[in-house]
Amino acid sequence: MANQTERDELSKGPIAWMVKNRVAANLLMIIFLFGGLLMSSQIKQEVFPEFTTDIVRITVPYPGASPAEVEQGIILSVEDAVRGLDGVKRVTSTAFEGSGVVVVELLTSVNEFKLVQDIKNEVDRITSFPEDAERPVVSLVESRRKVVSLMLYGEQSRSALRMLAERIRDDLIQQPGITLVQLGLTPPLEIAIEVPQSELRAYDLTLEQIARKIRETAIELPAGEVRSEGGQILLRTQERRDFGRDFLNIPISSSSSGGIVRLGEIATIEDSFEEADQEAIFNGKPAISIDVFRVGNETPDGVSQAVQAYVDELQSQLPPDIGVSLWNDRSVVFVDRMQLLMKNAALGLILVLILLGLFLEVRLAFWVTLGIPISILGCFLFLPWLDTSINMISLFAFIITLGIIVDDAVVVGENIYEKREQGLSKIQAAIRGAQEISMPVIFAILTNIVAFMPLFFVPGISGKFFRQIPAVVVIVFVISLIESLFILPAHLSHSAPDKALWKKLNKPREYFSEKLNRFIEKVYDPFVSWVVTHRYITIAIALAVLLTAFGMVAGKHL
């Protein structure tokens, strides 16, 4: 009766049900393996995770003003307007010569897009800005990650390099797999108009009058529509001027005799760049960078390869004194991290398979080893739900878990193997072995999960980086627990289809198991008995080794 009661207890519970229903275990394994493999191609790949920073930047240009004037006329008014809004955590401001910048840090619990609109509305209501201040620019700071830069360099004028860089930018945008390209390391363009004081006196003009004439004539303005019998006619003033030569014929003044003074007659007009305290030099020559970003479902490696293919075609079309080179290709680091993960996974598979195969059983080692790809690929099924991508941070998390996820499967598999050595049938050994060890394994996994959980609550921008680690680690550990307690016992509960093959593969195990048992009997057991018997000597030796280690470390710093 006792044996019958024990068998009835063994047949209960989810572990026993899964062992007896191997189809369910195999179906679950297939979902994790092939579902994760299919989902892995759909997950966004990026060098570093992109996110909103919960920071709003307000920029107000004030040409010609000193930092003190910017503070009094711009900064204080903006701070008073936005500081009292709900959801604002901190406001910091910086006054520059010619502009002011106010940075508003938001609370993580608010709707940042709604609060950005509220901030913009408050700033637009400010009526105390100086007359010469330009329109405020309110923007939510976003983290956009550059993949690679092209450095265009040569002994050419900045305008010539700029024109060539713009052509390259336009060509890159047309390439398949590239969406966002921007120019960098070059000051903004400007049209410089200089009027000598002698000309101002000669024609009785002021700079304000000339500026007003330029604003009135260099515009592009819709003027409504006129209905006619033939239909509607749209009216529009098209006087937009993009280059310095377009300003030459602007009439500035007229005489009583009907003569017209044009801007080109009294002023020097040229296309140039804004003055900046930076200069780009590459290989000792003036340079402009062309930055290529990853957007949407594009991958860093795909963007880098598309840029490299374009550069290979471009090299033969450039003048001899112009060069182009890839610089700061971050996809190389991404690919290296991915290869490191694959290398570590392969080494882990091989080591587990060899060591367990030599000392336990090859078939058991195979199913235990399979837990590594099941846990890794199964994680891809759930990453999109946690808004996690494949990036440098999440790949690092995968590398962390590689050395941990196989431990619970090894413990469960070894316990099942021990029950079979005690004479139980394979089904009974799988059920009893998994049930006996289930509680320690569950608490071991929960301990690992709890160790990483605090990373979910790191505040600020750092938290948005670090949350990628626990998102990956928790999912991998949970799937590893499911695999070791439900899938692995089901696979170890039935006989191999080809016993002769497994018997041949297990011949090395017989030799190493014999050597291991002899080592345990002849060396390990006597040593442990001596250590337990002479515990004070053991403690003294341990303390001596510890003090020696401290002394060696401290001695290197003296």
Same domain, 380 and 289: no
In terms of residue numbers, what domain contains 379? Answer: 2-47+335-499
Question: Tens digit of pLDDT for each residue in 391-422?
Answer: 888 888 888 888 788 788 888 888 888 888 88
β-strand partners of 57: 103, 139
Same domain, 259 and 195: yes
**Is 239 within a domain?**
yes
Q: Which of 107, 142, 177 represents a domain boundary (last residue)?
A: 142
Q: Sign (positive/negative) of CA torsion 116, 118, 119, 121? A: positive
Provide the 8-state DSSP code for 267.
-
User: 489 is written with which tokens?
Assistant: 């016992």
Same domain, 268 and 281: no
**Is 41 within a domain?**
yes
Q: What is the pLDDT of residue 545?
A: 92
CATH number, domain containing residue 420: 1.20.1640.10
Per-residue pLDDT tens digits of the chain, which is 558 residues long: 445 544 554 567 888 888 888 888 889 999 998 988 888 888 888 888 777 677 889 999 888 888 898 898 899 999 988 888 888 888 999 998 888 999 998 887 778 788 888 889 888 888 888 888 888 888 888 767 788 888 888 888 888 888 888 888 888 888 888 888 888 877 777 788 888 888 888 778 888 888 888 877 777 666 667 776 766 777 666 667 777 777 778 888 776 666 788 887 788 888 777 776 677 888 888 888 888 988 877 888 888 888 898 888 888 888 888 888 888 888 888 888 888 888 888 887 888 778 777 777 777 788 888 888 888 888 988 888 887 888 888 888 888 888 788 788 888 888 888 888 888 888 888 888 888 888 989 998 999 899 888 888 887 777 777 888 888 999 999 999 999 888 888 888 876 555 666 666 667 777 777 888 888 888 888 899 998 898 899 999 999 999 998 888 776 655
Classify 104 as helix, strand or coil. strand
User: 124 is written with which tokens?
Assistant: 């637009």
Question: Tens digit of pLDDT for each residue in 446-485?
Answer: 998 998 888 888 877 777 778 888 889 999 999 999 998 8
Whole-Å CA distances, 10 to 251, 432, 487, 492 = 100, 7, 17, 16
Same domain, 15 and 67: no
Same domain, 98 and 159: no
Instruction: Give the total number of structural domains in the chain.
Output: 5
Give the DSSP letter string of 42-63.
TS-B-SS---EEEEEEEEEE-T
CATH number, domain containing residue 305: 3.30.70.1320
Same domain, 311 and 399: no
Same domain, 323 and 446: no
User: 58 is written with which tokens?
Assistant: 């307000």
Alpha-carbon gap, residue 104 to 341, rounded angstroms:
39
Classify 12 as helix, strand or coil. coil
Give the DSSP letter string of 205-257.
--HHHHHHHHHHHS-EEEEEEEEETTEEEEEEEE----SGGGGTT-EEEE-TT
Same domain, 321 and 443: no
**Is 452 within a domain?**
yes
Alpha-carbon gap, residue 382 to 310, rounded angstroms:
36
Residue of 166, 164, 145 whose CA lies nearest to 156: 164
**Is 517 within a domain?**
yes
